[in-house]
Amino acid sequence: MDDFYDFQIVDLKRARSTAKEKIRYIRKFLRAVKKNPLKISREDVRSYLKGLSSVGAATYSNTLKSLKVFFRDFMQRPVVVATFKFPQEMFKPKVIPSKKDLQRFYKAVESAKEKALFLIYASSGLRRSEVLKLKRENVDFALRKIIPQNSENETKHTWVSFYNLEAEEVLKEYLSEKKASRSERIFPMARKDEKELWRSARERTSLQITPKVLREWFCDEMGRLGVADRYVDAFCGRTPRTILAKHYTDFSPGKLKVIYDKANLKVLS
């Protein structure tokens, strides 16, 4: 497994978290099959996948992705997994919470730290991990500009984003009362606490608001405010998808700041 981990990190340029996740799926598979990987056959894989018929499509897909990376790419035994297809996913339209929903949820959030996190997520469009990894050196407090740390995963990108005046006010309040910590992160948090973020607010409001949901709300709201898709993608760290965006668009921080401020994104009013 150590070699498989290094293969993913060095050869495939995967994120450490992604590499560890794939290892978990492979270990589970090997414990069930109880065979040397060199002796595992297509039939062994088929039997294992058949036993996953009751799990969700996401778990099945993640298992198959891991098996393909392990046998096809790492073990150089593509025949073992070549015939297996991923389940077809039905398109499900996104249901984005309304601004009123976000405001009701925000009122149920208790601490200044969690309120600041909520507004940073909602007004920047950044990923969960990007916000939690932020250090003071990643934030220009005068411009309300965030430059996330470069992602270790080449399929993810970081550009420049911003947070609004509402977030600025609450962030200042949080930082003024923040206790000293050995961590350099602005929002130091244990792994278990990351998963529990806003749990009490979800229980009190019955609204399933997460950092991912706020990222989706940000994209939808910025579009409603007239911001072009290519700039929304830039704020969210996505790769430019069109020729216009890739080769003929100014993505300088100054230009993005003008576009962000003109949108006048608000969450609480």
DSSP H/E element including 162: strand 161-162
Half-sphere exposure of 20 (CA within 13 A, CB side): 3
Residue 252 CA to residue 242 CA, distance in Å, equals: 17
As beta bridge partners, residue 185 has 135
Helix/strand/coil for 207:
coil
b or e along 218-230 (b: 16 or more beta carbons within 10 Å of the residue's beta carbon)?
Answer: bbebbeeeebeeb
| pLDDT for the residue numbered 154 | 46
Check residue 108 and give its pLDDT. 97
Region of residue 13 (left: phi > 0; alpha: psi -120 to 50; beta: else)? left
**In this structure, which long-range contacts are made by residues 223-228, counting pairs with CB atoms below 8 Å and at least 24 apart in sequence?**
225/263, 225/264, 225/265, 226/263, 227/259, 227/263
Closest C-alpha among 4, 9, 3 to residue 152: 9
Calculate ∠ Cα 105-111-112, nearest 5°.
100
Give dist(CA 86, CA 65) in Å, integer: 9
φ, ψ for residue 15 (rounded to 5)?
-70, 150
Q: Give the chain's domains with CATH numbers.
A: 2-80 (1.10.150.130), 99-263 (1.10.443.10)
At 203, the pLDDT band (50, 70, 90 cuts) reads: very high
Position 182 confidence tier, pLDDT thresholds 50, 70, 90: confident
pLDDT, tens digit (0-9, with 9 covering 90-100), for 106-161: 999 999 999 999 999 999 999 999 999 999 999 999 999 999 876 544 444 557 89
Amino acid symbol at 19: A
- The predicted model scores a pTM of 0.74
Q: What percent of the chain has pLDDT over 90?
A: 73
Over residues 30-46, the mean pLDDT reads 95
Distances (CA, A) of 202 to 31, 207, 208, 219, 220: 37, 5, 6, 22, 21
At residue 179, the pLDDT reads 86
Both tokens of residue 127?
A: 């990923």
pLDDT of residue 155: 43
